[in-house]
Amino acid sequence: MKGEKGITIIAPAPYKKMKEKEVLDENQRPIMGTDGKPKTEQVEVTVPHFKAVTVFDIAQTSGEPIQTLAPELLTAAVQDFDSFMQAIQKISPVPIRFDEIDGNANGYYHNADKEIVIKKGLSESQTLKTAIHETAHAKLHDREIMEILGVEKDRLTKEVEAAVGK
């Protein structure tokens, strides 16, 4: 919208160019031409490049709404759900319980109470996903263990680590 101030970021801006490259045989050795020099061919390569661009928060814009990326809840049933849930509870360093949770969270690891709470009423697949994610938090991000090790991590780092099971 007119008058809004953006922020400048470094954005990817790769470009393509033609480059001469030696032709190689199946053993990755250059093929020689009749003139005794290696044969070459023109190939298109993508060159990584960056440039400064101005970006705006979506609240600073007007127009047609754009699609946003929001995680969707899993809805599938899971064969042998009880066995999977028992396995997760067995490897979890803290108890797992089910309860009502206000807000958008499907579950959380409570550092002080040393427990995982999962929202009641989730599908089996969403329950398993949440249990695995929160168990990763309990194993990776226990406050006392992190203090002993002298490790500090911000919230986003913790979320990425729990999502990929670092």
The structure tokens listed for 83 are 């066995």
Residue type, 39: K
Per-residue pLDDT reduced to its tens digit, 107-128: 999 999 999 999 999 999 999 9
Could you tell me which residues come within 8 angstroms of residue 52 by beta carbon, excluding any fewer than 6 positions away? 8, 9, 10, 11
Strands 15-22 and 7-12: unpaired
Per-residue pLDDT reduced to its tens digit, 4-58: 999 999 999 999 999 999 998 888 899 998 898 999 999 999 999 999 999 999 8
Give the 3-state secondary structure of residue 85: helix
Dihedral angle sign, alpha carbons of residues 138, 144, 145, 149: positive
Altogether, the residues listed in the chain come to a count of: 166
Per-residue pLDDT reduced to its tens digit, 60-87: 999 998 887 777 899 999 999 999 999 9
Are 97 and 38 in contact by the 8 Å Cβ rule? The answer is: no
- Number of Cβ within a 10 Å radius of residue 118: 23
The structure tokens listed for 39 are 């044969």
